[in-house]
Structure 1
Amino acid sequence: MPAHRRHILPCVTLAGALAIAGTVALSPVAVAAAGVTTSLPARTTSVPAADEVSGSGQAVVWSQKPATDTRDHGWLSLSGGAPQDLGPLADTGEGVTVDAVSVQDSVVAVATSTNGGLADHVTLRRLDTGSQRTLAVAYDSSGAAGDERYRGQAGDGILLQQAYYDDDSQYRVRLVLRTSAADRTLLSNDARYEVLASDADGALVLRRTAPSWGHRIVYVDFATGATVTVAEPDTDELPQGLEFTPTRFGVIDGAKLTEWQRAAPSDGPATVTLPTDRARWISDDTLAWYEGSANGNELYAMSRDGSTPAADLNGTFGDISVGDDGRMRASLYRPDVDAAVQTLTDGRVSTVDGDASTIPAGPARLDALALSGGTLYTADDSSRRTGVLLSSRMTIGTAGASATTPSRVLAYSTGTVHRTLATAGNRVLVEQGDAYQVYANGTLTGVPLQGTDTSLDQVVDFDGDRFLLRDKTTLNNGTLLLYTVATGTVERVPDGVALYGGALYSSVKTGISSWAIRRTDLATAAVSTVTTVDCLPGQLQVRGPWILLTTCGTASTQGLLLKTGTTARTTVDASVRRPVLGTNVLYTYTKPDGTGVALNAEVLGVTGAAPRQLFVLPKGVGSTSVERWAVDREAPWAAWMDGDGVTHIVWAGAPSRTAASAPTGFSPNGDGKSDSWAPKWTYNRPVTWTLVLKSGTDSVRTLTGTASGGGVAPAWNGKTDSGTAAAEGSYTWTLSAKDAVTGVPAADVSGTVALRRTAPVASVTAPTLASNSSTSAVIPVSWTAKTAGVTSYDVGWKVATRSSTGVWTLGPLQTWRTGTTSKSAVFGSSGSPVTPKPGLTYRFYVRAHDDAGQTGAWSAAAASGIPVDDRSSALTYKGTWASKSVTSAWSKTERVSAAPGSTVSFSADGTKLRIVATAAPNGGRFAVVVDGTTVGTVNTYASATSYRKVVFTYTLGTKITSHKAQLKVLSGSTAGRATVRLDAVMVTR
């Protein structure tokens, strides 16, 4: 037994028994089926609990479970050094307090058992020499005469309770001090002994005295055998405080201490008035006591004589003891430091080197699992004795399932959480004591719901902002309540409702045998009918477009799965347990061997998907084992925890595409460009796949394969299954994939692909002169495909320009339209690259792209010129000419003359000359003179007026050269046909 060990205030353990659909706290000894799984190792606490602290000088020992064993081990630390594992300690069964590790006078006592019962031998190890010896304990569990029970250490000896029969054959026990030399009886003729504190010189013993079997606490001096009664409690309940230090022993009652000197125990006791009535333990120089706080037990201490005030030692303390050296020690837990066995001196945490021993990490208490959106939440006691919530993100990829190392989300502010009830997004609903609280990103949010007995409640659904609670207390007698977290508002709702997406779903009877599933928006109160059914709905579950009726009909063992917006109805077996609807996953339960219960998952909305077994629960599915399991209603995951604390995670979904690249066509013509169709689909899982290509309803080619890395990359060379060349045209394709491990199919992918062997061809047209179709400097251009499968066009243009030395040069091809699906445009209108200039010739080109991804060659040019208007300074008029505004004329003006001999002269630097004029009933004649030679005579007479007419064309040459040109008005053919109306002049360059 740890020397002079006395617990000040025990920690209270809270028990909860609440469940939520989809977050289950039952007890599977889970067996996983073939699937995609990962696991998180058993957690260890970063501030583990050390118990039974005992100290002597610089030696400290304690008991604690290591990460690799479920049994308590003894630990030893010297001068704050690295802890040494002393091995498993004795079983503490039968409800008897057995202190299995202690240190006194530099002797460590480790009590161990080889028969699974109480200690049957105690090893004593001297720290100064390292020598050790073992004292046997005759424990046989019978309780009959001769049976011995280890009760504690006495320096280099041990204290035993030994059973015997007295002279009257009455069953009795005695307290024996056993050393290597001999046994010595200290107390006898009693029913039971409990050693409350001991060292090498004496012990405080709780004895059950005969014949009345009353209670008496005595101090026994080993040297003399003398005893002094300290207290006589009426029950096993100990006094408020007991003092046992190297110099004193006594009892505390309120603020009064009655104590004896150990050097003279038979002398009368002294009475000491204490500065506080809250003291629970006294060492030679220190008073200490616990006070409850949000984080657990806080230790306060002060000097015994009151010279130092009471102070919070700023940490959560577990076990407290006073060693035979008079120094107080406690298990200290702080948020900013490791756990340690810390020495307390004069009411303060000691800062002396060697007065603190780090406690090694032990196994965490994993109380619950919950899943939400691919995040696993675990409530355990890691990092804080009052409990924390850890989260681990789960992912699925080509390498399989994986989970991040659990990270701390929050430390609970009040009490220890034994269950995580539900999660939704970044919010978690927990039960703490008799209250329900919601944490958002680790921070308490909203108004906690105070209950009377949470063990009688059941959380039915939770969406992060609200939860449904079936209150089974006498007050509400099974009523279903809707609780709003932000405001604390509670309202009663009918049975069978569900929460999802900020709405409440419920069923309402609309006829003799018909019911409507209605959605009530909780923000706006708007009500809408989602679907109708012809059976009495049981409880509802809603996720995305799916609605699950857990039963369908009175006393039914069949559920019904609906998809909104469709008439699809699928029955679901609910005979074993109520199914659970997740996001695109349906969880059902079966008994594959007739006894054990299996959890199965079926991917929804995927052709060919069927339920597959995830893991098997044992027969005792309703027991209260420490094991846990849960399913994720937001993402396809399930998890369970085995008896060793290892959390296993299984992916319950179907492969999904993370990337896709499927060309719309190809051209297997042997030119080395796109000779095969090579689509790529990347899945997050290894898959087997089948690709089928069809022409109409006829299958043309089927390709299959396995993508171990999740990357599907088939290649079609344009041939049929028989090896012949497939005809040009459009083909439909369908890709089907299945998970290579689980066999779960992915959603099919389909599309079309074009096969072309001929490059696309297109042609372009434009008016010879812009004046042919316009009154301003814009050119209407059109183009068209000459081959099948053309999907878009590129349109370009060129123009000749004159350098500073007078040389005309045709410029480079410039882009006007790229990848356009239009077939016409106006060059010079809004969006054109340039504004067309008079006197220049613009040449247009087009090329086509087809559905096979081919790009054709540029077409032949279509040339269109911009005429020089009659008002241009490049024209020189002589004689009688008049300028008139004419709306239908080029640039809306004409130059008119009826005087024979009148002329207009200009330079014609180009390859072709064109004269634009108005033909009319009064049209006259003019001559065209080039380089002094008359090259033509033009008569502009017409029975009806016609504007912007090319009335004369003359080829100047094949190269751009400079020419002198002149138009000369001639006499009219009649008096009424003598007027020449010049509109514009165009020289093609």
Structure 2
Amino acid sequence: MLGAAALALATGIGALTAVPAAAGPAAADELTIAPLPHQEPSYRPVYGAGPKGAVLDRPAGGLYWKSFEDGREVPLADCATGAYDQSLQLGDTVGCERRTSPTAPGPLTLHDQATGRTETLAVPAGRTWTTTFSPTQVLAYEQDAEDRVTLHLIGRENEPRKDVTVSAPERIPVDSLWVRTSDEKGALLTYRSAAGPTTLALLDYARATLTPLTLPDGAPDPGHVDYSLGSQWVSLRKNGSATAILRSRADLTVTRSVNTPTPYGRTHPVGDWLVVQDRDATSNAVTALPVAGGAPRTLLARTSDRGLKTGTDGSAYLAGGTDSSHWAMHRIASGPDGAPVLSTVMTLPPNPANRLTLSLAQGRLIAGQEDPTRSLQGYSVPVSGTSPAKQTPDWSCDENADLRLCRPDADLPGWTVPTGDGRIVSLSTHGTGVAVNVRETRPGGTVRQVPLPGTEGLQPYLVKNASGRFVLFTVTENNTPRLLVADIDAGKVLDFKPSSAATLWGATLWDQASPYGVNGTDLRTGRVTQHQGFGVCRPSEIQVSGEWIYGLCPAAVETPGVWHLPSRTFVSLPFAPESGRVQLGDGYLVRRTNTGLEVYNLRSGTAVRERGIAQEFRRYGSDWTVDRFGGRLAYTDAGQTVHLVGVTGNASPLAAIDQDVAATADFRQEQTWRASWWPSKPVSSWKLTVRNKTSGITTVVRTGTEARGLIAPAWDGKSPTGTYLFSGEYEWTLTARPADGQGGELSTSGTVSVTRPPAGVRPPARP
């Protein structure tokens, strides 16, 4: 077992810094990233419309009436409170019939939403209300002993005729009467005639007549007809036909025939024009055709596929626009010249795209979404300060471009996993073996596939986790799962046999020790360099973040808790962890419960419940995640906004958790000397110097600003003045400042043997 000092030296981490324990939610920094708009436009139905306003619904529930004149929004009058009460609605007016039983007609109250005026009509003896009314009358019926009805128009307060019998060609069976649509002047009804077929008829309020309408040729019944009631015309079009038959409401013997661009979709007469929605096209374009003939007009190039809604004044309503961010509910009514014109009833902001997955590493957030194409969106999140998070992604990719890496799956969050150094990885088959797919998460980033020799006969499953160039992943062999470790830069599987509990942190593989505890093995040398005891437990699940290590042990065996590695401090947890419900961050732990998330701050040496998030969550990697590399917790709320939440206190000091540095630099043979360091958290600036061991002269050869997860300079052997340094032995030193300002600088050193080209010899050409 290594001592604490040796462990700190080996890992580059320092002592535990105590912070005051918080008693409740802390004022930790929090950033938000709003969802991108869904590419499919939102839809809000029109429940009814009159000359002065429309009845709409709110996203949170509940109907309201909106004035066309001044934009007033009035909650819809809701008088149907009894078990048998019935609601009616026509344009700007809402009606409610009070009933004491299903068969006992009651008084009818009509409420005008535009004026606020209310009137109540007592039910006439022997009459029963229907579901429709006009500005002056209410349609009722009288039922005889044979269950056939006679229609009556009952006058309202402003109508002197209090009971007018409707002239109809026959008595109508009560069980077949149906008011299909109505406006201020009349209604279209269907009923079963004595001859047998279902009849479509026009009710004219002013004439008190019910007149059957001849259906278009080939239509067996009204169910095969698109019919609509305009202010001047009734339109009838057989389903599947491109010809609409229009009948004048003033004289039903006057007809017009209008050829429509498509046999599908809705039609509706507006004035002396026929408005047609083209359901045969993906855009659902809306065109207006003059009834008397002439050139058509395109009213909207793209509309909702939910179809037209007609108003009581002959207007039409439908949603449309150019795209989901420029979408509105429109009213189509006759303009000054009689032609249809558009006005906006209500703007329709886009629905949010559905977040499917979340990952966060080194302050890089990757959100998988569906809108309806599945894609990944990448954001660079500020790691300190008060700057807000950028709301537009730095890069994106979708499943149509790359199914292997760019298709998020909420049920399999391990489908794609970030490495922490600006890449994501996934698995796929390659021939008879396994390959790791690697994508750089930046605009124009490269995509490559790394076949892994020695994996023939294995089937890829999921990536468990990744850290820099090393990837820990699951395969199956004869339906038996196995864990493997691969170096994706070298393109090989390493000679280790991890247990199902294993995890990666930089170049260290943490796994179960024998008989108890866990070991940290250096993947570069194969040597065990670290050990942490867990009493008499071999944890079945191991997590590492910065200076912290968590192991899942049965509560009956050992007290659940987290170790701070450099100080050997054990922080016990006030709950019994469950597999798959706890995630370790840098100095904090997040627990998913049945009611939300609990965030426990560990940095004071005591587990303090610092924050609770009351919301239902699915699983880690789908709607919540943590940044192991010194960062925040992230989660998606019900509105698809991502929240990034920090905890109080200091994160672990900046450390190099892996490095790959060439020991020689022969500039006679190569153009550059390359080196890579993987820092444990984001860096704000860094500097690489070389010191000649003979002369003692130090030269700054490369500098850089922000780096997240990887510092990889390429040195050409020259000084800043452009001349080659002398051949000899040099000590290189990399220094870096943490972006979060916590802890001192990182400083790591090594040696390199430099050979410069002979004087006057041209250096090798750049490959």
3-state SS, counterpart of residue 460 of structure 1: helix
Superposed counterparts of 1:378-417, under 5 Å: 407=391
Other-structure match for 1:341: 330
3-state SS, counterpart of residue 308 of structure 1: coil
Other-structure match for 2:64: 73
Structure 1 268/480 Cα, relative in aligned 2: closer, same or farther at 3 Å?
Answer: farther
Structure 1 559/120 Cα, relative in aligned 2: closer, same or farther at 3 Å?
Answer: farther
Other-structure match for 1:494: 460
One-letter identity of the residue aligned with 2:605: G
Q: Decide which of 545, 552, 562 is 1:571's aligned counterpart.
A: 552
Superposed counterparts of 1:577-592, under 5 Å: 578-579=580-581, 581=583, 584=586, 589=591
Q: Taking structure 2 as the reference length, what is the TM-score of the superposition? A: 0.51
| 1:85 to partner: Cα distance | 0.7
| 1:561 to partner: Cα distance | 1.3
Q: What is the distance in 1 between the residues matched to 2:627 and 2:405?
A: 24
Other-structure match for 2:752: none
Does residue 608 (structure 1) correspond to residue 605 (structure 2)? The answer is yes
Other-structure match for 2:632: 636
Q: Is the 8 A contact 2:587 2:651 kept in 1?
A: no
| 1:203 to partner: Cα distance | 0.7
Q: Decide which of 122, 134, 141 is 1:154's aligned counterpart.
A: 134
| 1:303 to partner: Cα distance | 4.1
Does residue 218 (structure 1) correspond to residue 204 (structure 2)? The answer is no
3-state SS, counterpart of residue 209 of structure 2: coil
Other-structure match for 1:537: 500
Structure 1 179/568 Cα, relative in aligned 2: closer, same or farther at 3 Å?
Answer: closer
Q: Is the 8 A contact 1:468 1:483 kept in 2?
A: yes
Q: What is the distance in 2 between the residues matched to 1:389 and 1:158?
A: 57
Does residue 257 (structure 1) correspond to residue 209 (structure 2)? The answer is no
Superposed counterparts of 1:758-773, under 5 Å: none
| 1:199 to partner: Cα distance | 2.0
Percent identical across equivalent pairs?
A: 12
Q: What is the distance in 1 between the residues matched to 2:174 and 2:198?
A: 10
Q: What is the distance in 1 between the residues matched to 2:437 and 2:176?
A: 54
| 1:123 to partner: Cα distance | 1.5
3-state SS, counterpart of residue 46 of structure 2: strand
One-letter identity of the residue aligned with 1:179: R
Q: What is the distance in 1 between the residues matched to 2:428 and 2:635?
A: 26
Structure 1 319/236 Cα, relative in aligned 2: closer, same or farther at 3 Å?
Answer: same
Superposed counterparts of 1:835-914, under 5 Å: none
Q: Decide which of 176, 189, 196 is 1:205's aligned counterpart.
A: 189
Other-structure match for 1:518: 485
Q: What is the distance in 2 between the residues matched to 1:569 and 1:392?
A: 28
3-state SS, counterpart of residue 415 of structure 2: strand
Structure 1 227/565 Cα, relative in aligned 2: closer, same or farther at 3 Å?
Answer: closer
Other-structure match for 1:308: 295
Higher RCO, 1 vs 2 (CA within 8 Å, ≥6 residues apart):
2
Superposed counterparts of 1:276-675, under 5 Å: 276-278=262-264, 280-283=266-269, 284-291=272-279, 297-304=284-291, 307-309=294-296, 311=298, 313-317=300-304, 320-323=308-311, 326-335=314-323, 339=328, 341-343=330-332, 355-357=342-344, 359=346, 367-368=354-355, 371=358, 372=360, 373=363, 407=391, 426-427=395-396, 437-438=398-399, 445-446=401-402, 458-463=412-417, 493-495=459-461, 497-498=463-464, 500=466, 501=468, 504-506=471-473, 517-521=484-488, 525-529=491-495, 533=498, 536-537=499-500, 559-563=540-544, 570-571=551-552, 576=578, 578-579=580-581, 581=583, 584=586, 589=591, 596-601=594-599, 608=605, 610=607, 612=609, 614-615=611-612, 629-633=623-627, 635-639=631-635, 641=637, 649=643, 651-656=645-650
Q: Is the 8 A contact 2:461 2:474 kept in 1?
A: no
Q: What is the distance in 2 between the residues matched to 1:236 and 1:54?
A: 26
| 1:448 to partner: Cα distance | 8.5
Paired positions, count = 538
Q: Decide which of 110, 118, 121 is 1:133's aligned counterpart.
A: 118
Deviates more, 1:541-550 or 1:235-244: 541-550
| 1:255 to partner: Cα distance | 1.8
One-letter identity of the residue aligned with 1:85: E
Deviations 1:470-518 (A, max 9, x none): 99xxxxxxx99987788899998434533534664225899xx998641
Superposed counterparts of 1:58-97, under 5 Å: 59-65=52-58, 70-78=61-69, 82-88=70-76
Q: Which runs of 5+ in 1 are unaligned?
A: 1-31, 139-144, 410-424, 429-436, 439-443, 472-478, 661-745, 752-989
Deviations 1:750-789 (A, max 9, x none): 99xxxxxxxxxxxxxxxxxxxxxxxxxxxxxxxxxxxxxx
Deviations 1:341-395 (A, max 9, x none): 243669x99897xx523525679567447654476969799xxx99999999876
Superposed counterparts of 1:789-808, under 5 Å: none
Structure 1 278/297 Cα, relative in aligned 2: closer, same or farther at 3 Å?
Answer: closer
One-letter identity of the residue aligned with 2:243: K
Q: Is the 8 A contact 1:496 1:507 kept in 2?
A: yes
Deviates more, 1:650-659 or 1:83-92: 650-659
Q: What is the distance in 2 between the residues matched to 1:178 and 1:457?
A: 62
Q: Is the 8 A contact 1:64 1:72 kept in 2?
A: yes
| 1:63 to partner: Cα distance | 1.3
Other-structure match for 1:34: 25
Q: Is the 8 A contact 1:53 1:331 kept in 2?
A: no
Structure 1 518/750 Cα, relative in aligned 2: closer, same or farther at 3 Å?
Answer: closer
Deviates more, 1:37-46 or 1:607-616: 37-46
Q: What is the distance in 2 between the residues matched to 1:467 and 1:493?
A: 16
Deviations 1:550-584 (A, max 9, x none): 9x99xx99742155999977226797451465664
Larger radius of gyration: 1
| 1:251 to partner: Cα distance | 1.8
Q: Is the 8 A contact 2:426 2:462 kept in 1?
A: no
Q: Taking structure 1 as the reference length, what is the TM-score of the superposition? A: 0.42
Q: Is the 8 A contact 2:541 2:579 kept in 1?
A: no
Q: Is the 8 A contact 2:190 2:198 kept in 1?
A: yes
Deviations 1:920-949 (A, max 9, x none): xxxxxxxxxxxxxxxxxxxxxxxxxxxxxx
Structure 1 34/237 Cα, relative in aligned 2: closer, same or farther at 3 Å?
Answer: farther
Q: Decide which of 17, 40, 51 is 2:45's aligned counterpart.
A: 51
Does residue 179 (structure 1) correspond to residue 152 (structure 2)? The answer is no
Structure 1 36/426 Cα, relative in aligned 2: closer, same or farther at 3 Å?
Answer: farther
Q: What is the distance in 2 between the residues matched to 1:227 and 1:524?
A: 85
3-state SS, counterpart of residue 359 of structure 1: strand
Q: Which runs of 5+ in 2 are unaligned?
A: 1-22, 440-445, 452-457, 516-536, 555-575, 655-740, 747-767
The structure with the largest strand share of the pair is 1
Q: What is the distance in 1 between the residues matched to 2:338 and 2:426?
A: 48
| 1:277 to partner: Cα distance | 2.7
Q: Is the 8 A contact 1:576 1:590 kept in 2?
A: no
Deviates more, 1:302-311 or 1:243-252: 302-311
Structure 1 562/577 Cα, relative in aligned 2: closer, same or farther at 3 Å?
Answer: closer
Structure 1 56/72 Cα, relative in aligned 2: closer, same or farther at 3 Å?
Answer: closer
* Aligned alpha-carbon RMSD (Å): 6.6
Superposed counterparts of 1:104-119, under 5 Å: 108-110=92-94
| 1:252 to partner: Cα distance | 0.6
Structure 1 190/547 Cα, relative in aligned 2: closer, same or farther at 3 Å?
Answer: farther
Deviations 1:39-98 (A, max 9, x none): 9799999997453276666x45241427xx5322121213xxx4221223659999x9x9
Structure 1 245/447 Cα, relative in aligned 2: closer, same or farther at 3 Å?
Answer: same
Superposed counterparts of 1:920-935, under 5 Å: none
Other-structure match for 1:243: 228
| 1:281 to partner: Cα distance | 0.5
